[in-house]
Amino acid sequence: MILKVGFIGAGNIAHTLAETFLQYKDKFELYAVSSKSEDKLNEFVTKYGFKKAYKSYEDLVKDKEIDLVYISTLIKDHYNHIKLCLENNRNVLCEKAFTFNYKEAKELVDLARKKNLFLGEAIWTRYMPSRGIILNLLGNDVIGKVYYIEANLGYEIKDKERIKNPKLGGGAMLDVGVYPLNFIDMFALSKLKSLKVISKLNEEGVDETDIVNMEYENGVLAQFFTTINQATSREGFIYGEKGFIKVININNPEKIEIYLREDKSKNYASLVSSFNIKEEFNGYEYQLLETYNTINSSKKENPSMILDETLKIMSIVDEILHKAHYINY
C-alpha cells in the first residue's frame, strides 16, 4: 500500500522531509501541500511533484485521498493544526516540539485515541539505529550500571524571529532542548524523580540558555545544557561503573565511542571500540519508515515514540519552563 501524504507547512524542514519521502516512492506519494505563502506552495509543487496545492489547511485536510498529514509549522500552531487533522479523520505525523505544553498534547492524544487515528511525534533521534546500538551496549552491561548521563546542544539562532518570540513558541528548551532531554530520557530507563533548573532569559522572557539537573527513581543522575546563543559540542556521555559511552552529535549521531578501564594499573578509561553511524539517506528516513509500517499494520502509535512518551517529555518541558519563569498559567 502506498500512503498519500499531505504537507501542512512548507518551510526548511519540510523541504528535507519532502526529499526523504521521495526516496521511498514504493511507500509514499507526495500528494498534497498547503502553505500560507503562494510562492512556497508553487515551489513545492514544481520541485517535488505534489499533485495538489491548497491555499488553506482546511481544504487540505478535507481531501479524503490523504492517508497521512505531515505538519512542520511553528510550534505555537501545532495544537491547532493537529486538532484540525484529527477532527477531519486524518492520520498525523508532527514535528517536535509536539505542542506548546502538556495540556495541549494530552488533549490531542485523547482525541486521536478516541477517534482511533494514528498520531506521532517526528523527533528523529528516537527512531535512529544509534538508539538501538546504545541500548544493546547497556543491556549487555558493557559499561556496567549507569549512574550519570550528560548532554548538550546549542546553536547560534537567538536572532531568528521564531526563536526569540515567546508567542511563537520560541526559546532554547522547546526548539533545541528537547533533543538532550530525549537523549537522557531514552537511556536513563526510569521515571524522573526531580529536577532543578538554571536559566538565562531574554528581555521578552524567552529562555536563551538552560542548565537542567535531573534525578531518576533508579538513582541515575543527569544534566543537560542547551542554548540558542552559540554552537556547542553537541556531545552526550553515559557513565557506568566500568566505563562510559560517548556519542558525537546527539542531534544526529555520527559516532559512538566506548571507553573502559581495562588496565587496572591506570586510573582512567581508554577508548576500546567505536561505531561510525551511517544513514540510509539523511537520518529522517527511519521515522518515516516506522510510520509507514505502523499505519500499514493498523496500529496507531510508533513503538519508538509512543504517545505516553510524548506526554512524559511534554510534562518535563512544562516543569523546566515553569522553573525558568518562562510560562505563566
Domain ranges of the chain: 3-124+283-299, 129-278
pLDDT of residue 326: 53
The CATH superfamily of 129-278 is: Dihydrodipicolinate Reductase; domain 2 (3.30.360.10)
pLDDT of residue 329: 32
- Tell me the C-alpha distance between 48 and 261, whole Å: 51
pLDDT of residue 278: 86
Give the position of cell 549487555. Answer: 140
By residue count, the chain amounts to 329
Please state which CATH number belongs to domain 3-124+283-299: 3.40.50.720
pLDDT at 327 over 60: no
- Tell me the C-alpha distance between 139 and 225, whole Å: 26
pLDDT, mean of residues 201-225: 96
Instruction: DSSP for 86-112, please give it.
Output: HHTT-EEEEESS-SSSHHHHHHHHHHH
Name the band, by pLDDT with cuts 50, 70 and 90, for residue 262: confident
pLDDT at 267 over 90: no
Structural Rg of the chain based on CA atoms: 20
pLDDT in tens, 22-41: 999 999 999 999 999 999 99
Amino acid 237 reads F
Beta pairing partners, 244: 239, 259
Amino acid 119 reads L
Q: What is the mean pLDDT of the chain?
A: 96
CB-based contact 192:219 (threshold 8 Å): no
pLDDT in tens, 270-309: 999 999 998 889 999 999 999 999 999 999 999 999 999 9
pLDDT at 43 over 50: yes
42-48: long-range contacts at Cβ-Cβ below 8 A with a sequence spacing of 24 or more?
43/10, 44/7, 44/10, 44/14, 44/18, 47/18, 48/18, 48/19, 48/22
In 84-177 the beta strands, taken as DSSP E runs, fall at 91-95, 119-122, 146-154
pLDDT in tens, 303-321: 999 999 999 999 999 999 9
Residue 116 burial (CB count, 10 A): 9
**H or E segment to which residue 200 belongs:** strand 192-201
